[in-house]
Amino acid sequence: MLEEITFYPIFGKPLIVYLGILTLTGFLCTAGIAVANRRGIHTIPFAWHPRLAVFSIACAVIHGTLGVLIFF
């Protein structure tokens, strides 16, 4: 059952690929907010940093869990 969810095709690519891209993008945006605020660029308030971190970690946990469970 989890293999069906993991390999569910979206535009010809499996769901796990898109979760990986979303996770990487989330971590890069989270780091970008911290770096920008440190350099004095406050376009995006620092309050978004923890929110994006939680989102990125949640995506990473789902992505990792689906990746590991396809072998069981």
Mean pLDDT, the chain cut into blocks of 10 residues (72 residues total): 90 96 97 96 94 97 94 86
pLDDT at 58: 98
Cα dihedral 33, 39, 42, 45 in deg (nearest 10): 40
**For residue 39, what are its two tokens?**
């350099």
pLDDT at 72: 83
**For residue 40, what are its two tokens?**
């004095």
CA distance 11 to 15: 10
Q: What is the pTM of this model?
A: 0.89
CA distance 37 to 19: 27
CA distance 18 to 36: 26
pLDDT at 3: 87
